[in-house]
Structure 1
Amino acid sequence: MSGDAGIIIVGAGECGARTALSLRENGYRHTITLIGDEVHLPYERPPLSKQVLLDEAGPQAPAVLSDIVLGERAIRHIGGASASAIDTLGKQLILSDGRALSYGKLLLTTGAAPRRLPNAPTGGRIFYLRTIDDALALRPWIRADMHVAVLGGGFIGLEVAASARSRGAKVTVIESQERILKRGVPEPIAETIADLHRRNGVIVKCGVAVRGIEADERRVDISLFDGDLISADVLVVGIGAQPRTELAAQAGIAVDNGIAVNERLETSVTDIYAAGDCCSFPHPLYGGRRLRLEAWRNAQDQGMLAAANLEGAARNYHAVPYFWSDQYDHTLQIAGLVDEGRTVVRRDLGDGAFVLFHLDGEQRLVAASGVGPGNKIAKDIKLSEMLIAKRVVPPIEALAADVNLKSLLPKAA
């Protein structure tokens, strides 16, 4: 470390909080300061589109760090504060209230922000979902006498749709692409999820763009280019997210679809690192392809690696990308990058559950995706993740058959 100036972490979400915890677990003894622009303690975001909308009483997102843990681990948490500048030469972080905090090393875990609708009307009936305050504001509208329109057929939009239907609301999902889950989810799984929503009463409209949106104190009207007019009580917008890179860019740190880091999560400026949703990084399993992942697992994994490297470990990041989504009684899981696969092998698991294995040109397993009720696919996806990490070239007939994937793992030396 550079003296005892300590480590400052900008961003008090999953990644930043996990880094702070890991630093203490690794024996780091200097000052740790965790800065978040929300007044709340660090909390889990995945429940925002599910439990927080569904819980009958006292909805809240599970905390990552409590006041007790912060005190016991001597982690200084500054909530409701934003960083306005980084003095890279003087190694100081400038807060929006004018305070200047010195650092030995700095970690940026600034996350991502919802992509906003251009020229959309303002008002209390149009919602984005990123924070616990967003979820609590939306929650009263998710009820049986409401019509909830959802713009965007990605994970967030579909999870909100499932939660709204579970509470009895009428739901319409609008997706401009020809199908839902166009990004990173294979078509057979997207079709299964679309059918699941339709069976639960959701109207799913794909391949149609929005012509205009009007909102007043009574309703939101969404006019579509196919001539339809959808009149809803509330509109939830889930059209993607943008990495929060402004602070880094202003400091002269390289940006490339996120804050650009190397395999050790180091930015282009000495002693400044980045991790989580805000950063893009080269992945060794995919030929050094630069990725940016908006995923809970990635935030955890990179947070723990950042903690080690902030202390000088110089380890490379190589965790297999992993995504999941719970909708109704079904779970969708993906290990690896589906778009890297050229050959797809299907394994049926019964009860409508199935897994797709994605192989590259050398027949190496590069991804596995699955969907099904309960935990039907969990074991195969977990074992597939291990096979992907080991760069296994599996026999195609074994993937299609009822062969235990564990038997395909290389034997320990």
Structure 2
Amino acid sequence: MGGVVIIGAGECGARAAFALREKGYDGSITLIGAEPHLPYERPPLSKDGLKEQVEPKYVACAERYGASGIEVLTDSPVKAIDRVAKRVELIDGGSISYDRLLLTTGARARTIPGTVDGSRRIRTLRTHVDAAEIRRELVPGRRLAIIGGGFIGLELAATARGLGTDVVLIEGLPRILSRGVPAEIATVVAERHRTEGVDVRCDTKIDRIDADENGVQILLANGQSVDADFLVVGIGAAPNTELAEAAGLRVNNGIAVDATLRTSDPDIFAAGDCCSYPLCHYGDRRVRLEAWRNAQDQGALVASNLLGANETITSVPWFWSDQYDLTLQIAGLADGATVAVRRDLADGAFILFHLDDTGRLLAASGIGKGNVVARDIRLAEMLIAAGKRPDPRALVSPETKLKALLAA
């Protein structure tokens, strides 16, 4: 008997392994990772973890894996999946049999062709090793260039400014945070970065990037150039689907799974950043989410389904980002919304509620200092899950308790 084999030793894979034990599974569990570290959390890499530059924030210590009977293979890239023999083949020549296989292979940073390989001056930020190399450059007097105005680029910019590094951030689109974040909130974030000294340049196209031992020069389409000591490319992530594709599994913006996280092979499941799945709250629209909460939720769910539970995904997408003393939180997906109403809170914080033309709440986006928006975003998440159609006037009024709308 092969037991359960998990390819991908990140947040999702580790959570699934422990959840299997918590649910009473007593067979063998093997967790295989390509990195030299035990599973660790990635969000701190662009935030406090980058400032402190300590050991990764591990999901669990080595002793806990041992006590739970979970075998962890680090620094062990997988070569192929043999679905007929139900065997995982490793690069080093070894192989591991499975009864059920879980793919939590995650995603990798997108690169600009011809710029990252071969130059220590140009980096991406995805792993602890990446973070360690970038951290060495984040000192006063150095100049960092960032390409990409998404969460990773902006969080890195905030961290770098806190360490005294000069920052110029280049975004090709008309504004930052164009993917899933309302313009009203993106404006607040951009203004805060500029106040902190970040040179934010939107709607800026790049013609060429040159790098040598002395630094990086970014030649812009408008004829200007940006000189920096080093460059970080933060233009999103691509799902790691190569193993799945080579094994003949269906792929559609990630490893395609059904609502139970089962792939086109009944004995193989996928979860986390690497997979796309139908989301019931949005008409079974297929989505792929790169989010810490999603990795945790799907890790627990897929453990149940590996044991035959056949439970479906019901969680609402949730994202967050910390930049300076601001926290941005989003619940749901605003695509398809026709109305947005605003609730103002204390100290300049606010939440935007996004509704469709039937009045159903699709998403809520909030920003403020600390955790001021957290409670209302959590309640909005519950309203979305329940398919509620709250009165927009009630959403606008800070006096109206969202919990009351949930009970209505």
Instruction: In structure 2, give the amino acid aligned to 1:377.
Output: V
Return the match for 2:194 from 167, 185, 198. 198
Matched with 1:388 is 384
CA positional deviation for 1:134 = 0.5
Q: Are 1:325 and 1:333, in contact at CA under 8 Å, matched by a contact in 2?
A: yes
Matched with 2:11 is 14
When the two chains are superposed, the root-mean-square deviation of aligned CA atoms in Å is: 0.9
Instruction: In structure 1, give the amino acid aligned to 2:403.
Output: K
Q: Are 2:2 and 2:96, in contact at CA under 8 Å, matched by a contact in 1?
A: no
Q: Are 1:53 and 1:142, in contact at CA under 8 Å, matched by a contact in 2?
A: no
In the alignment, is residue 209 of structure 1 matched against residue 192 of structure 2? no
Mapping of residues 331-370 of structure 1, within 5 Å: 331-370=327-366
Name the SS for the 2:219 alignment partner.
strand
In the alignment, is residue 105 of structure 1 matched against residue 100 of structure 2? yes
Mapping of residues 296-335 of structure 1, within 5 Å: 296-335=292-331
In the alignment, is residue 268 of structure 1 matched against residue 268 of structure 2? no
Matched with 2:64 is 69
Mapping of residues 12-411 of structure 1, within 5 Å: 12-55=9-52, 59-120=54-115, 122-402=118-398, 403-410=400-407
Q: Are 1:172 and 1:205, in contact at CA under 8 Å, matched by a contact in 2?
A: yes
CA distance in 2, matches of 1:9, 1:208: 42
Instruction: In structure 2, give the amino acid aligned to 1:37.
Output: A
CA positional deviation for 1:59 = 1.5
Q: Deviations over 1:156-203 (max 9, x none)?
A: 000000000011111000000000001111100111100010110100
* Structure 1: segments with no counterpart, 5+ residues: none
Q: Are 2:360 and 2:388, in contact at CA under 8 Å, matched by a contact in 1?
A: yes
CA distance in 2, matches of 1:287, 1:213: 43
Instruction: In structure 2, give the amino acid aligned to 1:12.
Output: A
Name the SS for the 2:18 alignment partner.
helix
CA distance in 2, matches of 1:39, 1:72: 21
CA distance in 1, matches of 2:115, 2:19: 42
Q: Are 1:356 and 1:370, in contact at CA under 8 Å, matched by a contact in 2?
A: yes
CA distance in 2, matches of 1:388, 1:60: 38
Name the SS for the 1:392 alignment partner.
coil
Name the SS for the 1:366 alignment partner.
strand
TM-score normalised by structure 2 residue count: 0.98
CA distance in 2, matches of 1:145, 1:52: 21
CA distance in 1, matches of 2:93, 2:336: 47
Q: Are 1:51 and 1:59, in contact at CA under 8 Å, matched by a contact in 2?
A: no
Name the SS for the 2:161 alignment partner.
helix
Q: How many pairs are equivalent?
A: 406
Instruction: In structure 1, give the amino acid aligned to 2:73.
Output: I
Q: Are 2:351 and 2:364, in contact at CA under 8 Å, matched by a contact in 1?
A: yes
CA positional deviation for 1:137 = 0.8
Instruction: In structure 1, give the amino acid aligned to 2:253.
Output: N
Q: Deviations over 1:66-124 (max 9, x none)?
A: 11101110100000011111111111111111212110000000000001111226311
Name the SS for the 2:278 alignment partner.
strand
Instruction: In structure 2, give the amino acid aligned to 1:26.
Output: K
CA distance in 1, matches of 2:50, 2:245: 35
TM-score normalised by structure 1 residue count: 0.97
Q: Are 2:147 and 2:235, in contact at CA under 8 Å, matched by a contact in 1?
A: yes
Instruction: In structure 2, give the amino acid aligned to 1:96.
Output: I
Instruction: In structure 1, give the amino acid aligned to 2:365.
Output: S
CA positional deviation for 1:52 = 2.3
Instruction: In structure 1, give the amino acid aligned to 2:402.
Output: L
CA positional deviation for 1:374 = 0.9
* Structure 2: segments with no counterpart, 5+ residues: none
CA distance in 2, matches of 1:251, 1:240: 26
Segments of 4+ moved more than 6 angstroms: none
Q: Deviations over 1:10-43 (max 9, x none)?
A: 0000000000010011111000000000010110
CA positional deviation for 1:394 = 0.3
CA distance in 2, matches of 1:286, 1:276: 19
CA distance in 1, matches of 2:307, 2:24: 10
Name the SS for the 1:406 alignment partner.
helix
